[in-house]
Chains A and B, each alone.
Chain A
């Protein structure tokens, strides 16, 4: 179906729940990738993504078409991730939950290498405090603009820039620290 997002949303609002499938198919990678980078493991990423889509469906009536649908979807997803991360503080972390990344275009060795770096980077992202992690992911993983990040997080440009700056510094420190430790 090549209908625009707003056309599909209108169909859903008119009571055609099946039309929602189009939106899920269109945005599941975006939502899941963001959730995965935020949560750092499959199970939670999958749960949060499902919850995000259900929440999106339930509040379609409140969607403001001034914003891109993806922006709105990202907002709901990151909010859920932050809630989940907050809850997790009191619960034991899922240990040694490592990402499984498969890439069909690559040879096994290349896959292994990118898997390794991918894991290291993800492990480093996992160590970032939630409020910094969010900005790093939106900017560097999802390549969103400052304006979009401001719309998603509701923060001012100054805060977006500051958090991003701090997040990069922290991430670099974590990765350098890991390298130092492993080379020792």
Chain B
């Protein structure tokens, strides 16, 4: 056997063992070649030393320290989740309360204004048949509806203005809390070099 063949066998040996026949060949080569024998022996000593390195234990408080951080993180996640839920609910509730008057008023307001204009319409076009009356009252209603909508919008605007600070703060707060989670997801994401 040549030395380069022996080298391959030596490699194989340390990779996980050699079959009996190959091992015999290698041993036979060692009796002829001192260099390869030395190479093998020194490698064996080194790797045995590596493999006999003891298993080590981290410091006493290791688990505790990890758990402290993990629990803190878990608590943060839970509260974030909880608070963003609560905040969304609160925002929805606030929106409903603020707009309740507006919506109600606009419905009743339109109803009443169309009643008024239909009276006006029937007075003006008393001679017309009923279906043309309802069509013309519909068109006659448009200015009334528009003014009413404008009125309501202006009213909503005053609500918005008077509650401006509260609303903006509320939105900002909701936004910040909702984004804490997202920010953590994206910013805190570790750049794993390789994904399993």
**Cβ distance A160 to chain B, nearest Cβ, rounded Å:** 10
Known: A21-B67, A54-B73, A176-B42. Contact between A122 and B56, CB under 8 A?
A: no
Q: Is the beta-carbon distance between A24 and B66 smaller than 8 angstroms?
A: yes
CA distance A96 to B11 in the complex (A): 33
Majority secondary structure of chain A interface residues (helix, strand, loop or mixed): helix
**Cβ distance A7 to chain B, nearest Cβ, rounded Å:** 18
CA distance A160 to B67 in the complex (A): 35
User: Which residues of chain B from 45 to 82 have any CB-CB distance to chain A below 8 Å in the complex?
Assistant: 46-47, 49-59, 62-63, 65-67, 69-71, 73-74, 78
Please give, as numbers and ranges, the residues of chain A lying within 8 Å of B32 by CB-CB distance.
none
Q: Count how many chain A residues have C-beta atoms less than 8 Å from C-beta atoms of the other chain.
A: 59
Q: Is the beta-carbon distance between A58 and B193 smaller than 8 angstroms?
A: no
Q: Is the beta-carbon distance between B69 and A37 smaller than 8 angstroms?
A: no
**Cβ distance B61 to chain A, nearest Cβ, rounded Å:** 10
From B44, which residue of chain A is reached at the shortest CB distance?
A172
Q: Does A126 contact B (CB under 8 A)?
A: no
Query: Could you say which of A33, A72, A75, A140 contacts B55, with CB atoms under 8 Å apart?
Result: A33
Please give, as numbers and ranges, the residues of chain B lying within 8 Å of A33 by CB-CB distance.
55-56
Q: Chain B residues in contact with chain A, CB under 8 A? A: 11, 14-15, 42-43, 46-47, 49-59, 62-63, 65-67, 69-71, 73-74, 78, 188, 190, 192-196
A–B Cβ pairs within 8 angstroms, 26 of them: A17-B67, A18-B67, A20-B70, A24-B63, A28-B62, A29-B57, A29-B58, A32-B57, A37-B53, A53-B66, A55-B190, A57-B73, A72-B196, A75-B194, A76-B192, A79-B193, A82-B193, A103-B54, A121-B46, A125-B50, A141-B50, A141-B53, A154-B194, A165-B11, A175-B46, A175-B49
